[in-house]
């Protein structure tokens, strides 16, 4: 198994499978089929079999997949069979939500520190965290050997923050700022973009005659 | 062109192309190639050509794509050459961020109303909006013929909210709650899940020897 040889599009689907399998497991299910998993996540059974088979023979003809086994394998493949520390930069509405969010641990992540550049915020508490001064970011993140960051600053500040994070040794960034971040090769960025999710759905809303008639085109 | 025949995986990439093309356009660029667009979004040039060709012949051999033309075509295909009203349910940190976010309009969306069930929040202002009583949601959304919703309530409340939204005539939901929503067929749901984005990146962090050694596996 060579990381460079598996298309990123496939890697991007594995967390979706893992999330679904974890929900199934919570419901007490022990086995599933590519068909059932496919119905759950909205991806074809054939695609799921093809994706998973890239990493080995994890299912059995006729009996399907063992859910605990496939969860274990996917956690190994995605390297979330360990806990990853993260830093959150920008403590506005989104940063605050991330700092308070209780669901990261079961997925392999925990917020370790939060930063903001606003002097009126520095020193304030958010949940269990104290907001730290962004000017200490590089030193603090480097010392703690943190590799993951979530950027929740305004678009105008995002690139400068990304540059600092790269300097601090961060290798992967989840970007909530509505702007494209330019980073050196080898640094990964994922953009959280609700508009893209919305657009993926409006495509299907051609049946919605009322909406089509009621709206004025904006060109 | 038949909506049922194009795989959803391709539809999901179109908003990413559109976003990149809009950024290129903002920079004053007039044309691009599948190679250049591919480098920008991290998808192979061959994949981009294949995806776009599903909808027609939008590029020219040798000269590539006209950016304004391709933007126009993608906006048509995704039906965001019109403005879509949205409702936000749940005005915690995330709902507040969505209500205040200024970037929806250029992507084809606008928040029209916001709701919460907490009596201490109802009537409060968030940006230009007044938080409305969730018990009026079905009537208000139905009367306004809104088709899109963003759910930012706790996981425990999310399914009940989704049920109300479906009753109100909502056809597409962006779900920020960390839970799977069960909806009738024909209703679209997109899950915003930062952990899935993180997991897609930790896959690649095998080079990160320090991280691998420093962390204690949790099993």
Within 8 A by CB and 6+ apart from B123, the residues are: B130, B131
CA distance B59 to chain A (A): 21
Residue B53 and residue B217: Cα distance in Å, rounded?
46
Cβ pair B98:A194 closer than 8 A: yes
CA distance B42 to chain A (A): 9
User: pLDDT digits over A50-75, tens only?
Assistant: 999 999 888 777 788 999 999 999 99
Cβ pair B83:A216 closer than 8 A: yes
Residue A59's beta-bridge partner residues?
A65
* Reported ipTM: 0.89
Cβ pair B81:A196 closer than 8 A: no
Q: Work out whether strand B109-116 and strand B84-89 pair parallel, antiparallel, or are unpaired.
A: parallel
Contact A172, B202 (CB under 8 A): yes
A82, A104, A201 member nearest B190 (Cβ):
A201
Cβ pair B192:A197 closer than 8 A: yes
Angle at A97 between CA A114 and CA A186, to 5 degrees: 55
A147, A188, A198 member nearest B211 (Cβ):
A147
Cβ pair B172:A202 closer than 8 A: yes
User: pLDDT digits over B170-192, tens only?
Assistant: 999 999 998 889 999 999 999 99
Quick one: pLDDT at residue B213? 40
Contact B181, B202 (CB under 8 A): no
* Mean pLDDT of all residues belonging to chain B: 90
Residue A44's alpha-carbon distances to A48, A218, B7, in angstroms, are 6, 36, 10
Exposure b/e, B26-59, CB count within 10 A at least 16 = b = eeeeebbbbebbbebbebeeebbbebbeeeeebb
Ramachandran sector of residue A79 (left: φ over 0; alpha: ψ -120 to 50; beta: rest) = left
CA distance B102 to chain A (A): 10
CA distance A35 to chain B (A): 17
Residue A25's alpha-carbon distances to A22, A28, B217, in angstroms, are 5, 5, 21
Neighbours of A100 (CB within 10 A): 14
Residue B22 and residue A195: Cα distance in Å, rounded?
13
Angle at A24 between CA A21 and CA A27, to 5 degrees: 155
Q: Select from A104, A200, A206, A218 the residue whose CB has the most chain B CBs within 10 Å, as the one to mutate to test that interface.
A: A200
B3, B86, B108 member nearest A199 (Cβ):
B108
Whole-model pTM: value is 0.84
User: Can you tell me whether residue B64 is helix, strand or coil?
Assistant: strand
User: Can you tell me whether residue B176 is helix, strand or coil?
Assistant: coil
E-strand spans in chain B?
31-32, 59-60, 64-66, 84-89, 109-116, 125-126, 129-133, 148-151, 172-175, 188-191
A86, A192, A193 member nearest B19 (Cβ):
A193
CA neighbor of B108 nearest in space, from B145, B73, B80, B88: B80
Contact A41, A11 (CB under 8 A): no
Quick one: pLDDT at residue A62? 76
* CB contacts < 8 A (A, B): 228
CA neighbor of B132 nearest in space, from A133, B16, B140: B140
Question: Over its length of 219 residues, how does chain A's per-residue pLDDT go in tens digits?
Answer: 455 588 888 999 999 999 999 999 999 999 999 999 998 888 889 999 999 999 988 877 778 899 999 999 999 999 999 999 999 999 999 999 999 998 899 999 999 999 999 999 999 999 999 999 999 999 999 999 999 999 999 989 999 999 999 999 999 999 999 888 999 999 999 999 999 999 999 999 964 444 444 444 443
Residue A94 and residue A115: Cα distance in Å, rounded?
13
User: pLDDT digits over B112-168, tens only?
Assistant: 999 999 999 999 999 999 999 999 999 999 999 999 999 999 989 999 999 999 999
Cβ pair B203:A178 closer than 8 A: no
Cβ pair B211:A84 closer than 8 A: yes
Cβ contacts of B200 on chain A, cutoff 8 Å:
8, 11-12, 14-15, 78, 190
What tokens appear for A119 in the block? 């002097």
Quick one: pLDDT at residue A212? 40
Cβ contacts of B211 on chain A, cutoff 8 Å:
84, 145, 147
Q: Dihedral of the CA atoms A126, A132, A138, A140 (nearest 10)?
A: -90
Quick one: pLDDT at residue B211? 43
User: Can you tell me whether residue A147 is helix, strand or coil?
Assistant: coil
E-strand spans in A4-116?
31-32, 59-60, 64-66, 84-89, 109-116
CA neighbor of A82 nearest in space, from B198, B179, B192, B155: B198
Cβ pair A172:B23 closer than 8 A: no
Residue B99 and residue A194: Cα distance in Å, rounded?
12
Residue A197 and residue A195: Cα distance in Å, rounded?
5
Q: Residue A84: what are its φ and ψ, rounded to 5°?
A: -105, 130
CA distance B50 to chain A (A): 15
Cβ contacts of B207 on chain A, cutoff 8 Å:
186
A79, A202, A204 member nearest B205 (Cβ):
A79
Cβ contacts of B82 on chain A, cutoff 8 Å:
212, 215-218
Mean pLDDT of the region B83-106: 94
């Amino acid at each position: 198994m060579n990381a460079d040889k598996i298309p990123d599009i496939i890697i991007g689907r594995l967390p979706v499978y893992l999330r679904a399998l974890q929900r199934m497991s919570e419901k007490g299910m022990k086995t599933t089929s590519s068909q059932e998993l496919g119905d759950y996540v909205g991806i074809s059974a054939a695609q799921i079999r093809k994706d998973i088979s890239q990493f080995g023979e994890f299912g059995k003809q006729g009996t399907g997949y063992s859910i605990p086994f496939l969860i274990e394998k996917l956690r190994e493949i995605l390297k979330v069979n360990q806990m990853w520390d993260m830093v959150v930069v920008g403590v506005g509405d989104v940063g605050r939500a991330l700092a308070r969010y209780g669901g990261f641990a079961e997925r392999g992540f925990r917020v370790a520190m939060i930063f903001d550049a606003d002097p009126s915020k520095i020193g304030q508490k958010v949940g269990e965290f104290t907001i730290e001064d962004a000017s200490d970011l590089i030193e603090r993140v480097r010392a703690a050997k943190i590799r993951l960051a979530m950027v929740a600053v305004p678009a105008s500040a995002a690139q400068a923050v990304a540059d600092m994070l790269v300097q601090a040794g961060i290798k992967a960034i989840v970007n909530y700022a509505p702007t494209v971040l330019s980073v050196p090769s080898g640094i990964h960025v994922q953009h959280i973009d609700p508009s893209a999710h919305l657009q993926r759905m409006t495509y299907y809303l051609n049946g919605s005659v009322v909406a089509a008639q009621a709206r004025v085109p904006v060109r």
